[in-house]
Amino acid sequence: MFKVMVAAHGEEALVFLQDNPDIKLVLTDFYMPVIDGVELTREIRKSQTKNELSIIAMTSSNDEHISAKFLKIGANDFIHKPFTKEEIACRINNSLDSLEYIAKIKDMAHNDFLTGLSNRRSFFEAMEEYIKVAQSNSEAFAVAMIDIDNFKNINDSFGHGIGDFVLVELAKILKNNLKGNDIVARFGGEEFCVVLKNIEQKKALEYFLKLKGTISSMTIRHKDTKAFNITVSMGVAFSDTETLNEILKQADKALYTAKKNGKNRVEVG
């Protein structure tokens, strides 16, 4: 079912779009009062791309250049009047299907397929932007590399299906324990990364120690095996260095120390 909103002219349509950012498709005629379809399309494309909102333009004009003009300025599709109900329905469904397909591709490009967390690529993109803001505002933050202890033994003992289940359960804990705009990502394998924004070092360390305890007290329950517990090792670094790569190197070094010193530990780089 579609929820349809009818605007009297292009200017009113822009107000509808501003008040309803979840609108996914606009049907516009070329001939409209106040703002015609071409101007409406131009205005929409200043803020929303063809991959975010679909525009289907229509007209009864015989001017063959109008369709090309609409398509050049950002319309997704064009239809001449008169048209049948079946034709417009097909074009609407095709446009919405394309948006959904593009959204899925974006999700696959930025999110880890198993856990749904941000992937490594998305993490670096988000952090590049955040570090600029943090440095500009002299904002402190903390980064932790988190690795599941003895994960190979879990896969060998219970199978890779259970290993995947553990990764998903851990991802849920990490995500549910974040605040505000903090970042959590899966770096690959059994390794995750958590960034706490705008936080003092002492409070950040307290957070990670508490998180480690929460994880170790979690019981993994799956119908295909007996219940068991997991632990993680964490390497923490703070925003004392200039670049993200240097911070991550410090966190990795601290993670190695945590593993070396007996696992189920939090070490600071």
Q: Is the pLDDT of residue 33 over 90?
A: no
CA distances from 256 to 71, 149, 174, 186, 253 (A): 55, 12, 20, 18, 5
Span of 99-108, 110-119, 251-260 with lowest mean pLDDT: 99-108
Q: Report CA 4 to chain centroid distance, whole Å.
A: 28
Strands 232-238, 266-268: pairing is parallel
Return phi, psi of residue 20, to 5°. Answer: -130, 75
- Interhelix angle for 37-45 vs 10-19, to 10°? 30
- In this prediction, residue 8 carries a pLDDT of 86
Q: Report CA 208 to chain centroid distance, whole Å.
A: 23
- In this prediction, residue 61 carries a pLDDT of 74
- Beta-carbon neighbour count of residue 128 at 10 Å? 10
What is d(CA 239, CA 245) in angstroms, rounded to the nearest whole number? 11
CA distances from 4 to 13, 20, 26, 81 (A): 12, 12, 10, 20
Q: Is the pLDDT of residue 107 over 90?
A: no
Domains of the chain: 10-107 (3.40.50.2300), 120-268 (3.30.70.270)
Active site residues: 190
Dihedral angle over CA of 108, 109, 113, 115, nearest 10: -120
Give mean pLDDT, residues 199-208: 96
- In this prediction, residue 66 carries a pLDDT of 87
Task: Give the DSSP H/E element, type plus range, for residue 219.
Answer: strand 219-222
| 110 or 196, which is more confident | 196
DSSP 244: H
- In this prediction, residue 241 carries a pLDDT of 67
Q: For residue range 49-86, what is the model confidence (pLDDT) as tens digits?
A: 999 999 999 988 777 788 889 999 999 999 988 899 99
Q: Is the pLDDT of residue 137 over 80?
A: yes
CB 131 within 8 A of CB 185: no
